[in-house]
Amino acid sequence: MTARTLLSDAQFNEVRATILDNNPGMEPDLASRILTDALAFVAAASARGGRGMVPSRVVDEGWHALILHTGLYQNLCALLGGFVHHTPERPDPGRFDSAVLARTIAAIESAGYSVDTDLWGAPDAELVSVAAKCQHSDDGGPIVIIPKPKG
């Protein structure tokens, strides 16, 4: 299943335009891939309560673009079952933990979404330079779901 279907064409194009505006020279296809994986990340994080999940630095660029469309993002999170908050951290390759990304990818796939593995590398092994200057590195903080899932 692709997370692309979580937004209408118009919504997807608006958020993708934000990614492209923030990253001059980025190919539209790459921006679409980033946004699709950001949608899958938010969907899985909402379903799982965010425990043990962090986006890659590249996918975080798509998450940032979603968040900038506040009404759309609020409605998306409501549809998915819980608001996924974002707490940024400055990039620091020394904090990178590949096991956390592997758990995140597994959670996304477990939720039924496909993952573009090229977008899930270490913060210093970028597929592309992105405007987002934040990194999420541990299971303990960056994601808080409101309301908390039952169970």
Side-chain-facing half-sphere of 107: CA atoms under 13 Å: 22
- pLDDT per position as a tens digit, 87-97: 777 766 677 77
- Comparing 10 with 92, the larger pLDDT belongs to 10
Residues 58 and 130 sit within 8 Å (Cβ to Cβ): yes
- pLDDT per position as a tens digit, 12-51: 999 999 999 999 999 999 999 999 999 999 999 998 776 7
Both tokens of 104, joined, read 């995140």
Where is average pLDDT lowest: 22-36, 50-64, 100-114, 122-136?
A: 122-136
pLDDT value at residue 114: 94
**Mean pLDDT along residues 100-112:** 93
Work out the mean pLDDT of the chain and round it to a whole number: 83
